Amino acid sequence: MSPALFSPLRVGNKVARNRLFVPPMCQYTLENRDGVANYETAQHYGALARGGWGAIIVEATAVAPAGRITPWDLGLWNEQQAQALEPIVADIKAHGALAGIQLSHAGRKASTYRWNQGSGTIPADQGGWQPLAPSELALADHARPQALSESEIEQIIAAFAKAAKVASEIGFDIIQIHGAHGYLLHEFRSALSNQRSDAWGGSQGARNRMSEQTVQAVHEALAGTDTVLSLRLSATDWLEGGLELSDTVALVRQLPQVDWFDISTGGLATAPIPVGPGYQVRFAQAVKAALAGTAGNGSSGVASDGAKAANDDATSGASTANSAPVVSAVGLITNPASAEQILVTNQADIVEVGRPALANPRLALAWAKELGTKVDYMPPQYARGF
């Protein structure tokens, strides 16, 4: 019997060949600071493309210049950026993985240094810019952000939708909205960073509005396509007065447009997080349990019945279309036995492996061998290495 980790999975209207995904991981390699993918970007994703993964999600890509985490981030707000990403998407898909992209706005965590160059906000005279946020509440040693006006909020939502439409047009299978790790949508959700008293704050329902409207705008932008809609969320802030798991469960139940919930935690501010192997899996399990029996609408719902049937026939064992949204677990899942256990015990549908994939882009192929399964997508030029 084939391991669950290497069984196919239907995600919205797409089918992943296995359940081992590469999550979005910022590379900060754009020395021109223009948001345009370069040689390093292509080499990074090219190596992963040949690694046997079920899906590869391109790193946090800003929907507007002020939404970049650092000046060295990817962007998707102009044609040059889209053109540079197109061959990368094609390369990922040519080798059998689904190609995804995470769309992001960094909020008050924008205009920062690369992780290995220091902390805090880069000043304007060094190429930095004014961070934007729900409220004028600074993060640690970062600059005080400027509170967004309602019209600016609407502009950012529109920027997410525009970037999603372009990403789908250039071939991405999956569009993921970044709603985690202390970036803008997460900042709106948490009472620790959102002290607004208008329609965008004051209650948990109002604080959720930014996430809900962004999801709806992206859903509408993807109408008429079979593109998968994903949302990454921090399930808890790990801080008193911040988001709790129950808040996240309540939100996901309000988002039938989402095909895949990617569940992480933390990132809003320094917190006492009990980091250890698989420490975030229980949050994915709780979200999955809460969604059991619900029917995801899919990001478009336009795949024909014939196409769905053909897809099911071609991927015997893949879950059926219009089932409940799928849920992924991420965070210190570092060996195939642990990953397999997460799936067979129904704690999640997908396992994401980040840092180990940086160390070994072909880790999925290595794990297949370790679990004793033979995959038919082993690149022949690498087969003797396994």
φ/ψ bin of 147: left (φ > 0), alpha (ψ from -120 to 50), beta (otherwise):
beta
The pLDDT score that the predictor gives to residue 317 is 52
| 302-339: pLDDT as tens digits | 333 332 333 344 445 554 444 789 999 999 999 999 99
CA dist., res. 355 & res. 382, Å (int): 21
C-alpha dihedral sign at 40, 167, 268, 184:
positive
Instruction: Decide: 148 and 278 in contact? Cβ < 8 Å.
Output: no
Residue with tokens 């935690």, as numbered in its chain: 265
Answer whether residue 172 is part of any domain.
Answer: yes
Instruction: Decide: 271 and 237 in contact? Cβ < 8 Å.
Output: yes
Answer whether residue 307 is part of any domain.
Answer: no
Answer whether residue 300 is part of any domain.
Answer: no
* Cα angle value 15/320/251 (rounded, 5°): 90
Answer whether residue 190 is part of any domain.
Answer: yes
pTM: 0.94
Answer whether residue 320 is part of any domain.
Answer: no
Instruction: Decide: 236 and 244 in contact? Cβ < 8 Å.
Output: yes
The pLDDT score that the predictor gives to residue 30 is 98
String of b and e for 194-229 (b: at least 16 CB within 10 Å)? Answer: bebeeebbeebebbbbbbebbbebbbebbeebbbbb
Closest by CA to 297, choosing from 321, 281, 315, is 321
User: What is the mean pLDDT for each group of 10 consecutive residues in the chain (386 residues)?
Assistant: 95 98 98 98 99 99 99 99 99 99 99 95 97 97 98 99 99 99 99 99 99 99 98 99 98 98 98 97 98 62 32 46 84 98 98 98 98 96 93
CA dist., res. 93 & res. 352, Å (int): 18
CA 289 to chain centre: 20
The DSSP symbol for 19 reads S
Answer whether residue 147 is part of any domain.
Answer: yes
The pLDDT score that the predictor gives to residue 295 is 62
Give whole-number Cα distances, 186 to 71, 222, 269, in Å. Answer: 21, 23, 11
Instruction: Decide: 181 and 264 in contact? Cβ < 8 Å.
Output: yes
The pair of three-digit structure tokens given for residue 305, joined into one six-digit string: 């019945």
Answer whether residue 301 is part of any domain.
Answer: no
The pLDDT score that the predictor gives to residue 307 is 29
Q: How many helices (H) and strands (E) does the chain have?
A: 12, 13
3-state class (DSSP) for residue 10: strand
CA dist., res. 386 & res. 383, Å (int): 6
Total domains, the chain = 1
The pLDDT score that the predictor gives to residue 324 is 86
3-state class (DSSP) for residue 333: coil
The pair of three-digit structure tokens given for residue 376, joined into one six-digit string: 């038919």
Domain extent for 245: 4-294+325-382
| 76-104: pLDDT as tens digits | 999 999 999 999 999 999 999 999 999 99
CA dist., res. 283 & res. 236, Å (int): 9
String of b and e for 70-89 (b: at least 16 CB within 10 Å)? Answer: bbbbbbbbeeebbebbebbb
CA dist., res. 334 & res. 252, Å (int): 27
The pLDDT score that the predictor gives to residue 200 is 99
The pair of three-digit structure tokens given for residue 73, joined into one six-digit string: 């981030």
Answer whether residue 316 is part of any domain.
Answer: no
Q: What is the CATH number of the domain that holds 91?
A: 3.20.20.70
Instruction: Return the beta strands (E) in the chain as ranges.
Output: 9-11, 14-16, 20-22, 55-62, 74-75, 98-104, 132-133, 146-147, 174-179, 228-234, 260-264, 326-330, 350-352
- β-partners of residue 15 are 10
3-state class (DSSP) for residue 174: strand
